[in-house]
Amino acid sequence: MNDSQYNILAEDLLLALEEAIEDCGEDIDYESVGGLLTLTFVNGTKIIINKQAPLHQVWVATKFNGHHFDYIDGKWIDKREGGEFWQFMSNAVSVQADAQVLLSAE
């Protein structure tokens, strides 16, 4: 993948995540600035998602740990645990929102 392809895919992912957060029904604030998306929860915790253009990755930092995602076969896959981005984010947001949240790109 070249830099242009990566940037398009990563920006599309961040925009889709913003829309999913907006539609999830929970009180989660978000702010997007220059490839960095910050989710802020009612309890004050945050999840930070950012583009790592030199590595062609998307990084996610939760209150528990950090994860690096590579784009593989049409999906963003966690390098550490092998999980898919949307499932990971659904779980992480559910924990930090203290509510069941299902996020998807649709």
pLDDT at position 102: 87
pLDDT at position 105: 83
pLDDT at position 25: 86
CATH topology of domain 3-97: Metal Transport, Frataxin; Chain A (3.30.920)
Q: What average pLDDT values come out for the chain (106 residues) when binned by 10 residues?
A: 94 95 92 94 96 96 94 95 95 93 85
CB contact set of 37 (below 8 Å; sequence gap of 6+): 14, 17, 18, 30, 31, 48, 49, 50
The pTM of this model reads 0.91
pLDDT at position 23: 92
The amino acid occupying position 36 is L
